[in-house]
Amino acid sequence: MSETAETRGPVTRRRRTTITSTKQTKRQDAREKPSPCSAKEKAADKVQKHANNNGNVEKEMGKSTQQCHNLQESLLSSASGYSNYRGILNWCVVMLVLSNARLFLENIIKYGILVDPIQVVSLFLKDPYSWPAACLIIVSNVFILAALYIERRLAVGTISETTGLILHLFNLTSLLIFPSASILTVTSITPVGGVLSLGTYTVLFLKLYSYMDSNKWCREIRHAKAKRMTRSYSCPIVAQSNGSAANTNVSYPGNLTHRDMYYFIFAPTLCYQLNFPRSPRIRKRFLIRRLFEMLFLMQLLVGLIQQTPFPLSSLILPLAASSQVPNHLIWLIFFYWFFHSSLNFVAELLQFGDREFYRDWWNSETVTYFWANWNIPVHKWCLRHFYKPMLRKGVNKFLAQTAVFLASAFFHEYLVSVPLKMFRLWAFMGMMAQVPLALFVSRFLNGNYGNAAVWISLIIGQPIAVLMYVHDYYVIHYGRKTEAALI
């Protein structure tokens, strides 16, 4: 029951543009193929102008009857087609900060601005004089250089394509087996150190596979071009465009340098290409803001993880999971920390241009859309190096999709089971359970109901999988101790 007079300049303008754009979107949806200057629209404009003229006539007549109501829907009704809820996102952030203010204050009083250093270090190291995880990560350079030297040999033709492929596959297989074998045998590696080094190796595996594939494509193009050039000395456009581009861009064999290789290794992408798009300059304010976010959210994450209660005694897992809202918040904050703050920070430092690390998965109305849009680097890799090559080889579409899901489930299991030294298949089953869930949601739910179903599966499904592992881990490591203590 409160109000004020007319809004001021900038605000009014903003609202108007918002509503215009909404209308435009709706119109576009209705027509499907937007042609900017159709006859219908012009007619509509004329009608509107006519209406305005009528309005003027009425105004001239004296005070108008002031017809102040229009036929329209409320914004929150789904029929209105309105979708600008940026403010709700801000509300979530404000609420998160305010409701955790007490926690923040306590944490800062206890540990200071930085993260509790001893507890964090103890996650990585058992013995402060041996750094097994760090050593493992440093050793990975061997595999990177091996891939580079194989490619150099292939480029000059001293080894055949088949030999190169065998060498590459040997390199990639050992890239997966070596770290897992080390983690399983070296007892001084902690679970967190194990996850970190194994994650690094997995990322490296995907990157080097992409490197191999892309360079092979480059050789094929060079080969095709050479053939065409032999047949006839035509095709001047391509040659010219290559010539003009050569000033700034490198072409195939010129990319096989240490500098190019390590730029790709550190760049926030899994797909190799020649001449990545580069941003014009390093924006210092952007960099500092991302760095601040990284540090602040790191603090928040560690604080939340340390304080999350795991209801180990409760056997009714779904109910326990529904009270595991903090678990979901940790995942959301981790998502923002990793995919927005950290990857953007690295990209800004390296002037890497493509910042699409995620798409609008929060609006996803099907499970498939969620999996295809929350992690764009991995999704892009799967599409480019796994799914499309399979389709080109004539594999059935559904089979290819299932294969991608299987591979993804394998890597999930690999990343969780090896560091924890428990083979439980919960992660594998969790991933494979997505397939029937996706079918169910896409059949029976759509629109906002589908979106709510995706959110519920995220809020409830993830904590269950995490709880399974935590439960088993505690039973194995602390259950025995308590048993021993009892005896």
The residues facing 125 across adjacent strands are 189
The set of residues, in sequence order, having a beta carbon less than 8 Å from that of 67 and lying 6+ positions away, is none
Applying CB under 8 A, which part among 25-33, 128-136, 169-177, 300-308 lies near a copy of itself?
A: 25-33
Comparison of 29 and 106: residue with beta carbon closer to a copy of itself: 29
- The SS3 of residue 93 is helix
Comparison of 85 and 423: residue with beta carbon closer to a copy of itself: 85
- The sign of the dihedral angle between the CA atoms of 150, 154, 155, 161 is negative
Q: Pick from 56, 130, 448, 482 the residue near a copy of itself by CB under 8 A.
A: 448
Q: Pick from 48, 56, 83, 257 the residue near a copy of itself by CB under 8 A.
A: 83
Q: How far is the CB of 424 from a copy of itself (least distance, A)?
A: 18
Q: Pick from 44, 238, 239, 439 the residue near a copy of itself by CB under 8 A.
A: 238
Applying CB under 8 A, which part among 131-139, 172-180, 377-385, 469-477 lies near a copy of itself?
A: 377-385
- The SS3 of residue 35 is coil
Q: Whose structure tokens read 């169910």?
A: 440
Burial class (CB in 10 A: 0-12, 13-18, 19+), 119: exposed
- DSSP category for residue 386: I
Q: How far apart are CA 30 and CA 334, in angstroms?
A: 38
- Cβ distance 242 to 250 under 8 Å? no
The residues facing 314 across adjacent strands are none
Of 378-417, binders to a copy of itself (CB under 8 A) are 378-384, 387, 397, 400-401, 404-405, 408, 411-412, 415
Q: How far is the CB of 306 from a copy of itself (least distance, A)?
A: 21
- DSSP category for residue 278: B
Under the binding rule (CB under 8 A), the answer on residue 316 touching a copy of itself is no
DSSP run (H or E) holding 333? helix 325-335
Comparison of 186 and 464: residue with beta carbon closer to a copy of itself: 464
Question: Which one of 50, 412, 471, 477 is the catalytic residue?
Answer: 412
Under the binding rule (CB under 8 A), the answer on residue 265 touching a copy of itself is no
- DSSP category for residue 357: S
Q: How far is the CB of 111 from a copy of itself (least distance, A)?
A: 22
Q: Pick from 29, 48, 243, 478 the residue near a copy of itself by CB under 8 A.
A: 29
Under the binding rule (CB under 8 A), the answer on residue 247 touching a copy of itself is no
- Cβ distance 183 to 189 under 8 Å? yes
DSSP run (H or E) holding 56? helix 39-60
304-336 CB burial, b ≥16 within 10 A, e <16: beeebeeeeeeeebeebbeebeebbbbeebeee
Comparison of 94 and 135: residue with beta carbon closer to a copy of itself: 94
Q: How far is the CB of 199 from a copy of itself (least distance, A)?
A: 8
Residue 440, both tokens: 């169910």
Comparison of 140 and 408: residue with beta carbon closer to a copy of itself: 408
Q: How far is the CB of 409 from a copy of itself (least distance, A)?
A: 8
Under the binding rule (CB under 8 A), the answer on residue 342 touching a copy of itself is no
Under the binding rule (CB under 8 A), the answer on residue 425 touching a copy of itself is no
Q: How far apart are CA 191 and CA 184, in angstroms?
A: 11
Comparison of 84 and 482: residue with beta carbon closer to a copy of itself: 84
Q: How far is the CB of 475 from a copy of itself (least distance, A)?
A: 26
Applying CB under 8 A, which part among 114-122, 128-136, 138-146, 354-362 lies near a copy of itself?
A: 354-362
Q: How far is the CB of 62 from a copy of itself (least distance, A)?
A: 4
Q: How far apart are CA 111 and CA 103, in angstroms?
A: 12
Question: What distances in angstroms separate CA 11 from CA 25, 73, 85, 170, 247, one per listed residue?
Answer: 21, 22, 16, 62, 47
Of 173-232, binders to a copy of itself (CB under 8 A) are 199, 202, 214, 217-218, 220-221, 224-225, 228
The residues facing 278 across adjacent strands are 352
Applying CB under 8 A, which part among 3-11, 124-132, 256-264, 466-474 lies near a copy of itself?
A: 3-11
477 catalytic per annotation: no
Q: How far is the CB of 122 from a copy of itself (least distance, A)?
A: 25
Comparison of 92 and 246: residue with beta carbon closer to a copy of itself: 92
Q: How far apart are CA 459 and CA 332, in angstroms?
A: 10
- Cβ distance 297 to 337 under 8 Å? yes
Q: How far apart are CA 1 and CA 315, in angstroms?
A: 50
Under the binding rule (CB under 8 A), the answer on residue 161 touching a copy of itself is no
Under the binding rule (CB under 8 A), the answer on residue 74 touching a copy of itself is yes
- DSSP category for residue 352: B
Count of residues engaged in binding a copy of itself, rule: CB under 8 A: 136
Comparison of 274 and 301: residue with beta carbon closer to a copy of itself: 274
Q: Pick from 107, 299, 342, 364 the residue near a copy of itself by CB under 8 A.
A: 364
Under the binding rule (CB under 8 A), the answer on residue 37 touching a copy of itself is yes
Of 87-146, binders to a copy of itself (CB under 8 A) are 87-95, 98-99, 101-102
- Cβ distance 404 to 386 under 8 Å? yes
- Catalytic amino acids? 412
